Structure 1
Amino acid sequence: MKTARRLWRSGIMTPHKSGKKSPFSRKGAAAPTAEAFDMAFQDKPRVGTVVSVTGSHALVMLDEDTPESDRSTRPQLGAIMSVDAGSSIVLGLVSAMTNPAPSLDHSLPDMRIIEIELIGEFTKPTINAPARFRRGVSAYPTLGDNVHVATRDELTALFAVNGAASVRVGVVKQDASIPATVNVDEIFSRHCAVLGTTGAGKSCAMALLLRAVLQRFPHAHIVILDPHNEYSKSFGDGAVVFDPTNFSLPYWMLTFDELVEVLYPGRSRDSDEIEILADLLPAAKRMQMGGSGRASRLRPDGNSVTVDTPTPYRISELLGLIDKAVGGLDGGRTSAPYKRLRARIYAVSQDARYSFMFGGLTVQDTLKDMLSELFRIPVDGQPVSVIELGGLPAEVVQVVVSVVSRLAFEFGLWSNGAAPIALVVEDAHRYAPANPDEGFGPTRKSLTRIAKEGRKTGVALWIASQRPTELDPTILSQCNTIFAMRLANQADQDALRAAVPDASTSLLSCLPSLGLGEAIAVGEGVPMPTRIRFDALPPEAVPRSFTASFTDGWSVEIEDNSFIDRIVEQWRAQRMLTPDID
């Protein structure tokens, strides 16, 4: 706005009045002529004129208010404005408003300036092509061009549903009669992020977006990694919910790094026990494969089995190999690391908390069945898999996320994208933190690989996070559609600004003041950056977001003698104590 002050002080800019104009209205033609397009634009009430154009910004000096003008015709922060640039109608967002030199004499008009970020344009219709919106500006406004608040008809055309490729998710904040739509192909093929502080409505927004897509495309394949056990009821009978009682992730599906993380969380790979495991694990896998000849078919060079080969093997045979190795040690080598490794493998395999990995009585190749169940192929009326991570041991949650994301990418790769999969990751900053020294490396690698290459293999990544500053910037930058909900932390706002296009950053100044269920929608999945309000979810579909009430909990005495017993029982069984919801 410094430019506006300089122009005003130099006397170049002076307030001017506008005459009364009739409102813009369509004449009903599907493809109006260029002349009709111009006449319709001229019929709209002008609010000001262009007085400065610099790159992607324009300064507009507003007309003096007339007695009959009302608030609805005034520009507001974030409002969409239109400028006739000759060959096109340029659209922009109000990014700033100021009165650089307010007058103390109320009889004199004030000079009011707004700044507009130029976003896109409506091409004027021709004989061969109708009017349509496109991003970017091919013809810039010139000084003196008339500026108008975008009308309902323009907004309707701008946010119009693009056939079967778009779905409604809410309304445009500027005009609640205009539905806000998203392009399904864009938000999945180019990934999507829902960001916002705690309590802003991220989970509800995520559930609403997915439900809107599923209503139009019921044969989708969606996997939700749910660390807070929120989504079990959000999709009704359309979801299969996996918890520690019915979730199975056989240990032999783990890569070597993932297995080491289960056995020795956070330990480096240069310890004696891990070196011994790397030597003996391929032999255990070969024993299970036996003489079926399958090994020779895996790789023609004969080196068919490695520590990462996803083939079944028995823990008992691995323990037997360790015992055999101890018996063959010469006098110069100690058996201590072998014994420690054996004890650790046995302890983990017998731990009830790890039964979803080691609980099978028999070892069978269930990879086909697991992929079918996990990725909902066939859908059979249940296109969503919800994996509740809240009840799993904290030490292995990272491994579970790593395995599921790795399987999703590999499935997409080897199926050539024939059955596209969407992987939804709640609290993504836990699994792909910005600090490379934190988290679990294979998990970050799997998620980053999907973010970078998932578009080619038909694997979409949707992330939700309350701390964008703690999220790997590579992953966030690959999300080409972002729904930014209320964010009060300045560092989080800065991280978000670094991830969105420059032409959308002005809207982000509204982030701290967004209401519940409101978002700034930017990216390829929406027609243009705008402020929207999500539709309300039906009560039965609202994710279960439990916040403990201190006032309720401290208002009554706990007289149930079995209360502590139940907590201890569930603590030992690693089952979450969650409130009952009718």
Structure 2
Amino acid sequence: MLNNDLHRSISAGEQERRDAQKIGNRMLGRVVACNGSHATIAAVAEHGDTDLTELWSVGRLISISVGSNRVVALAYSMQSGERQWAEGEDTKFHIEVELLGEVRVGHDGREEFSSGISAYPYLGAIAHRIRSADLLRIYDAGKNDTCTIGKLSQDESIDAAIHVPSMLSKHFAIVGSTGVGKSTAVSLLLHKAIEADHRLRVLILDPHNEFAAAFPDHAVVIDTDTLDLPFWLMRLEEFSEVIFRGRPAIPEELDIMRDLIPEAKRAFKGSDSGLMRRSASEKSSLTADTPVPYRMADLLALIDERLGRLEGRSDKPFLRALKMRITSAINDPRYHFMFSNNTIQDTIMETIAHIFRIPGDDRPISTFQLAGIPSEVVNSVASILCRMAFELALWSNGAIHMLVVCEEAHRYVPA
């Protein structure tokens, strides 16, 4: 609902203004303390009556009258003065609220909600039940093309609506304790998002393999059996996490990889079979982080070459250890999705098409199941996928809308 619609439906607001003059109807308490972000409200439950206290609960919005404006606040803590309740006697209690914004009268005479506060509550200011019209203004997306996802818990006569383009134009998080329904909320939002934006592509990093069931007709499942993620897409830091199995890298071995990986990339670029020597003038600006294909066989051959040299004997223990680490990773079946034969060639187009659903074929969602990936390389895999998603969205010049959903991001996104 737009703000001008609220302005036209003024009769309910006028009625609430008349009710506001009846202190017993909407008054909840008075401000007894206030700073730049919080306020304390004192209230009294007469004769132990709980009708007033039912209006106070953590998570509810209230409003505080300040002149012609109404400051909107969220209750987050409450307690009785003596931490006890006496039946039949007056009970005083205090409510801590967070100041969120205010409903003010604009230059055109219309009331609108703003997240800023022009005048803070004074001591003795009246706190009262928030008006339904104010709730509408607070949750009004200001757009016509919104999607309804439910009802407001504080007033179930009001739709909870989102504007998908505005939501997806910025980072956002869904937080809550275990069991409150975060995954259900994410699934609902994604269903609404793909309905509203047909160009949207969604990649879900799913550590519990739970989201595939929520999108049986709109998603493909990607796991270690159906994934070919080329190892050469990794940066040196990410590749070292694989080789060292999540442990800190040995500096000498890391330096060797930093020198030899560009040589292996140049060898692959210059010839499709075996190593190919090139003069210094012919060498390109490849680095260990450049996403260019290379063969593990070429990298191991370069290590063997250094082992056969007469000089640099102090490096040989590190060369042997590095060769053993690389060989062990290549032969580990858990890393087959990175080191299979399919990952040697430049298959980046096929990888992008498969993971990011281009074309979508009526299934714009990819659920990337992380449960089967070794824990020590989950960080690296997530890093590659997020980097690819960013580059794809950037270089498509807006043709592709990309959304990456990180379920339990704290498990694989460094702090």
Same fold (TM over 0.5): yes
Distance in 2, matches of 1:84 and 1:32, equals: 23
Aligned to 1:285: 265
Greater mean deviation of Cα atoms: 380-389 or 162-171? 162-171
Aligned pairs for 1:69-84 (under 5 A) are 74-84=55-65
Given candidates 37, 42, 64, the residue that maps to 2:18 is 42
SS at match of 2:344: coil
Distance in 2, matches of 1:79 and 1:333, equals: 69
SS at match of 1:286: helix
Amino acid at match of 1:265: R
Q: Aligned in 2, Cα 1:356/1:85: closer, same or farther, shift over 3 Å?
A: same
Aligned to 1:229: 209
Are the equivalent residues in 1 in contact too, given 2:143–2:163 (CA < 8 A)?
Answer: no
Q: Aligned in 2, Cα 1:426/1:147: closer, same or farther, shift over 3 Å?
A: closer
Given candidates 119, 141, 144, the residue that maps to 1:139 is 119
Aligned to 1:567: none
Matched, 1:325 2:306: yes
Q: Aligned in 2, Cα 1:91/1:327: closer, same or farther, shift over 3 Å?
A: closer
SS at match of 1:245: coil
Aligned pairs for 1:565-580 (under 5 A) are none
Distance in 2, matches of 1:370 and 1:213, equals: 24
- Aligned-residue Cα RMSD (Å) equals 3.8
Given candidates 350, 353, 367, the residue that maps to 1:369 is 350
Aligned to 2:277: none
Q: Aligned in 2, Cα 1:315/1:47: closer, same or farther, shift over 3 Å?
A: same
Once the two structures are TM-superposed, the CA of residue 195 in structure 1 deviates from its matched residue by 3.1
Given candidates 393, 396, 415, the residue that maps to 2:374 is 393
Distance in 1, matches of 2:72 and 2:314, equals: 77
Aligned to 1:379: 360
Distance in 2, matches of 1:259 and 1:72, equals: 59
Consecutive unaligned residues in structure 1, runs of 5 or more:
1-27, 293-299, 433-443, 445-471, 473-582
SS at match of 1:223: strand
Distance in 2, matches of 1:210 and 1:181, equals: 14
Once the two structures are TM-superposed, the CA of residue 75 in structure 1 deviates from its matched residue by 3.6
Amino acid at match of 1:366: T
Once the two structures are TM-superposed, the CA of residue 341 in structure 1 deviates from its matched residue by 3.2
Aligned pairs for 1:131-530 (under 5 A) are 131-142=111-122, 145-163=125-143, 166-185=146-165, 187-290=167-270, 303-330=284-311, 335-360=316-341, 363-415=344-396, 419-432=400-413, 444=414, 472=415
Once the two structures are TM-superposed, the CA of residue 285 in structure 1 deviates from its matched residue by 0.9
Q: Aligned in 2, Cα 1:30/1:231: closer, same or farther, shift over 3 Å?
A: closer
Once the two structures are TM-superposed, the CA of residue 354 in structure 1 deviates from its matched residue by 1.8
Once the two structures are TM-superposed, the CA of residue 99 in structure 1 deviates from its matched residue by 4.8
Which deviations, in whole Å up to 9, do the C-alpha atoms of 1:18-39 show, x marking residues without a partner?
Answer: xxxxxxxxxx985259999566
Are the equivalent residues in 1 in contact too, given 2:45–2:52 (CA < 8 A)?
Answer: no
Are the equivalent residues in 2 in contact too, given 1:269–1:275 (CA < 8 A)?
Answer: no
SS at match of 2:322: helix
Distance in 1, matches of 2:46 and 2:55, equals: 9
Once the two structures are TM-superposed, the CA of residue 196 in structure 1 deviates from its matched residue by 3.5
Distance in 2, matches of 1:174 and 1:421, equals: 33
Once the two structures are TM-superposed, the CA of residue 343 in structure 1 deviates from its matched residue by 3.8
Are the equivalent residues in 1 in contact too, given 2:102–2:116 (CA < 8 A)?
Answer: yes
Which deviations, in whole Å up to 9, do the C-alpha atoms of 1:268-305 show, x marking residues without a partner?
Answer: 4445444333332211111111179xxxxxxx996421
Q: Aligned in 2, Cα 1:134/1:370: closer, same or farther, shift over 3 Å?
A: same
Distance in 2, matches of 1:331 and 1:134, equals: 69
Aligned to 2:7: 31
Once the two structures are TM-superposed, the CA of residue 245 in structure 1 deviates from its matched residue by 1.2
Which deviations, in whole Å up to 9, do the C-alpha atoms of 1:136-182 show, x marking residues without a partner?
Answer: 22133456655431233432343235435643333322223333334
Q: With the length of structure 2 as denominator, give the TM-score of the two structures.
A: 0.80
Distance in 1, matches of 2:94 and 2:151, equals: 28
Once the two structures are TM-superposed, the CA of residue 243 in structure 1 deviates from its matched residue by 0.8
SS at match of 1:207: helix
Which deviations, in whole Å up to 9, do the C-alpha atoms of 1:164-221 show, x marking residues without a partner?
Answer: 5643333322223333334545544442223344434332232223223223224312
Once the two structures are TM-superposed, the CA of residue 233 in structure 1 deviates from its matched residue by 1.5
Q: With the length of structure 1 as denominator, give the TM-score of the two structures.
A: 0.59
Amino acid at match of 1:387: F
Are the equivalent residues in 2 in contact too, given 1:165–1:185 (CA < 8 A)?
Answer: no
Distance in 2, matches of 1:276 and 1:144, equals: 72
Are the equivalent residues in 2 in contact too, given 1:329–1:335 (CA < 8 A)?
Answer: no
Are the equivalent residues in 1 in contact too, given 2:236–2:289 (CA < 8 A)?
Answer: yes
Are the equivalent residues in 2 in contact too, given 1:168–1:181 (CA < 8 A)?
Answer: yes
SS at match of 1:233: helix
Are the equivalent residues in 2 in contact too, given 1:75–1:149 (CA < 8 A)?
Answer: no
Distance in 2, matches of 1:375 and 1:419, equals: 10
Q: Aligned in 2, Cα 1:110/1:387: closer, same or farther, shift over 3 Å?
A: closer
Distance in 1, matches of 2:133 and 2:361, equals: 42
Q: Aligned in 2, Cα 1:392/1:53: closer, same or farther, shift over 3 Å?
A: closer
Are the equivalent residues in 2 in contact too, given 1:73–1:149 (CA < 8 A)?
Answer: no
Distance in 2, matches of 1:277 and 1:33, equals: 69
Q: Aligned in 2, Cα 1:317/1:103: closer, same or farther, shift over 3 Å?
A: closer
Q: Aligned in 2, Cα 1:42/1:308: closer, same or farther, shift over 3 Å?
A: same
**Identity fraction in percent:** 36
Amino acid at match of 1:391: G
Distance in 1, matches of 2:52 and 2:85, equals: 21
Distance in 2, matches of 1:103 and 1:309, equals: 68
Distance in 2, matches of 1:143 and 1:402, equals: 52
Q: Aligned in 2, Cα 1:332/1:387: closer, same or farther, shift over 3 Å?
A: closer
Are the equivalent residues in 1 in contact too, given 2:80–2:93 (CA < 8 A)?
Answer: yes
Once the two structures are TM-superposed, the CA of residue 396 in structure 1 deviates from its matched residue by 2.3
Amino acid at match of 2:174: V
Once the two structures are TM-superposed, the CA of residue 311 in structure 1 deviates from its matched residue by 0.9
Distance in 2, matches of 1:196 and 1:117, equals: 19
Are the equivalent residues in 1 in contact too, given 2:41–2:95 (CA < 8 A)?
Answer: yes
Q: Aligned in 2, Cα 1:42/1:116: closer, same or farther, shift over 3 Å?
A: farther
SS at match of 1:323: helix
SS at match of 1:284: helix
Distance in 2, matches of 1:57 and 1:337, equals: 59
Q: Aligned in 2, Cα 1:301/1:414: closer, same or farther, shift over 3 Å?
A: farther
